[in-house]
Structure 1
Amino acid sequence: MRRMKRDLDLDLLRTFVTVADNGSMTVAANLLHRTQGAVSQQIKRLETALTCTLFVRGSRGLSLSREGEQLLEKARQLLRMNDEIWAERAEHPFTGMLRIGVPYDLVNSLAPTMRSFADAHPLVDISLTCGASPDLSQAVDDGRLDVSLVEYPEFAADGETLRIEPLIWVSGRHSNASRKRPLPLSMVDERCAFRPVVLGALSDAGIPWRTVFESGSIEATAATVRAGLAITTWLRSTVPSDLETLDPQIAGLPPLPAFSISLRTPPATTAAAMKFSRLLRESFSAATRLTPITGEATGRRFASGMPA
């Protein structure tokens, strides 16, 4: 007996992912340029086809059901493969604007991919926005960025995780700043994704702190740390070679959680953004193979936080 052919409607899956990412059918409708009623009907059609409930409505709005959570990542994979196939089959060169976002500390990591893309697609005008991760995430949601790297605590990651890295304490060589109280901190930006995690860990540990410097410039933050005026926190792969990582137990500091470096794109993306996203995945995958990212220190010695 011949089995019935069953195909998933990718348009329904795209609507599902957009609603899941935004927790709202109204927001999804605006992003997809549809009415809220049309979006609601598409979700109902998908639920009927899969014979399950994908969303539950609570006091805080829509949330994914158990079946919805199981479907979400697979739906992302299907849509990504579909979009990449169409992008590769495009017969005309990429043109127009590509708006890229990146946190301050990942600019250097992004540079090779930008150069590779620019060389391959010279007709595309690249616009780069550096900012704090919460602002970049919002810019993607609002459609002001075509693709962005965003840093999230691992337990609250959104988008596509490219790599997980430990967040570590960083000090200048031979500095005793980590032993001072209140603890002198140098933070890149008051909106930095690391800030609430770091301050929460210090608060839980009962360690008073004070801000020595806050700026959108990571170079200026590094300068205050090099001068021994403060300590800071960075992802392990971004720590400059002339600074030292602190062992929390030896330095009397609380441990910090790992962070996800995530790739974010809006639901309705461009062929150029899809190509750039693929290059980013390849770049991060290659870097991880060359230098595995773990919670253990490799390559740099731990500093005690006391003068050497």
Structure 2
Amino acid sequence: MLRNLDMTLIRTFVTVADKGTMTAAANALHLTQGAVSQQVKRLEEMFGASLFERDRRGLRLTHAGERLFGKGKRLLGLNDEIWAEMAGTPVGGRVRLGVPYDLVGTLLAPVLKVYAEAYPRVEISLVCASSPELASALAAGTINLAVIEERIGPTSGECLAIDRLVWVGAKGGVASAKRPLPVSMVADTCAFRPAVLSTLGEHGLEWRTVFENGNIDATMATVRSDLAVTAWLASTVPADLDILPLEAGLPPLPNFSINLHLPEHGVSPAAQEFARHIRDGLTRRPLAA
């Protein structure tokens, strides 16, 4: 007897597997946690097998879940492709995407390339700024969506990944041993600045600013020259610089989340598709946590 898969249940299952928790999946799908749990339970009842099991870090796929996950993602991709083609209305227009300086050339570069190839009729404009500035621009309606770095906690955005905020210095450098500690920040509006200065203050470490004007290349130059240290997400640290170990004597920094923010109203089809590409691209890429 032929049976049809429920695409809603498959999409929920794949989202839970991608996010790692029911809560994160519920936020991404705009559902309650209870609804997500019930949908996963229905899928497990259909297949007569458990798809997830819990461990200390959260949910983990069972053997049956692993078998379903890869095929489920391919099935969703084909479903979405068919809808896009059969709808008969090509996605076009203009999208203004807000991105922090440190993410545009690292995590988001592959996503931008794939999206541009998939939707050649969309005119893409990038707005690079600090995360607080991007949040203000989104609220003012001058950008259509934004990827924002925030301290882990309550947010109006969708958490795509969690990464470590780390101290970065020149290879074999000595700047981390100097006091007051020479610190180079991209801008005084940098999302990391409050966390960095708060941590230094809590540990009684004196510091001084070496560079601060919104230019990430110049900040990188001061670190490469061993004039200062800086703080970046672990996944964005260039290969020619070092993530400083605890032995360097600097206090550990808090984790940050990379969140996707959309306006409350009036999200265009082009922006919605861009959000989907960003979501798929970043959740597929493992980050240090």
- Cα distance in 2 for residues equivalent to 1:141 and 1:188: 23
Per the alignment, residue 257 of structure 1 pairs with: 254
Tell me: CA distance 1:167–1:277, structure 2 relative to 1, closer, same or farther (3 Å): same
The answer as to whether partners of 1:157 and 1:260 remain within 8 angstroms in 2 is no
- Cα distance in 2 for residues equivalent to 1:158 and 1:203: 29
**Cα deviation code 1:216-246 (max 9, x no counterpart):** 2211111100101000000000000011111
Select the residue among 201, 205, 225 that pairs with 1:203: 201
Per the alignment, residue 101 of structure 2 pairs with: 104
Tell me: CA distance 1:157–1:177, structure 2 relative to 1, closer, same or farther (3 Å): farther
Per the alignment, residue 123 of structure 2 pairs with: 125
Per the alignment, residue 151 of structure 1 pairs with: 149
Q: Which amino acid aligns with 1:258?
A: N
The answer as to whether partners of 1:99 and 1:145 remain within 8 angstroms in 2 is yes
- Look up the SS of the partner of 1:287 in the other structure: coil
- Cα distance in 2 for residues equivalent to 1:95 and 1:74: 24
Per the alignment, residue 43 of structure 1 pairs with: none
Question: Aligned ranges for residues 155-304 of structure 1 at < 5 Å?
Answer: 155-248=153-246, 250-267=247-264, 268-288=266-286, 292-294=287-289
The answer as to whether partners of 1:152 and 1:158 remain within 8 angstroms in 2 is no
- Cα distance in 2 for residues equivalent to 1:165 and 1:204: 22
Deviates more, 1:127-136 or 1:150-159: 150-159
- Cα distance in 1 for residues equivalent to 2:27 and 2:120: 33
- Cα distance in 2 for residues equivalent to 1:269 and 1:209: 43
Identity among equivalent pairs (%):
45
Q: Which amino acid aligns with 1:198?
A: V
**Cα deviation code 1:269-290 (max 9, x no counterpart):** 01111111111111112212xx
How many pairs align?
217
Give me the TM-score of the superposition, normalised by structure 2: 0.70
Q: Which amino acid aligns with 2:174?
A: N
**Cα deviation code 1:140-185 (max 9, x no counterpart):** 1222111111000113444000000010000101111111111100
Per the alignment, residue 112 of structure 2 pairs with: 114
Tell me: CA distance 1:182–1:156, structure 2 relative to 1, closer, same or farther (3 Å): farther
Give me the TM-score of the superposition, normalised by structure 1: 0.66
**Residues 1:73 and 2:15 are matched in the alignment:** no
The answer as to whether partners of 2:138 and 2:144 remain within 8 angstroms in 1 is yes
- Cα distance in 2 for residues equivalent to 1:92 and 1:132: 35
- Cα distance in 1 for residues equivalent to 2:112 and 2:172: 37
Gap regions ≥5 residues in structure 1 = 1-68, 79-83, 295-308
Tell me: CA distance 1:168–1:143, structure 2 relative to 1, closer, same or farther (3 Å): same
The answer as to whether partners of 2:28 and 2:158 remain within 8 angstroms in 1 is no
Gap regions ≥5 residues in structure 2 = 1-22, 33-79
The answer as to whether partners of 2:95 and 2:144 remain within 8 angstroms in 1 is yes
Let me know the Cα RMSD of the aligned residues. 2.5
The answer as to whether partners of 2:182 and 2:228 remain within 8 angstroms in 1 is yes
Q: Which amino acid aligns with 2:239?
A: S
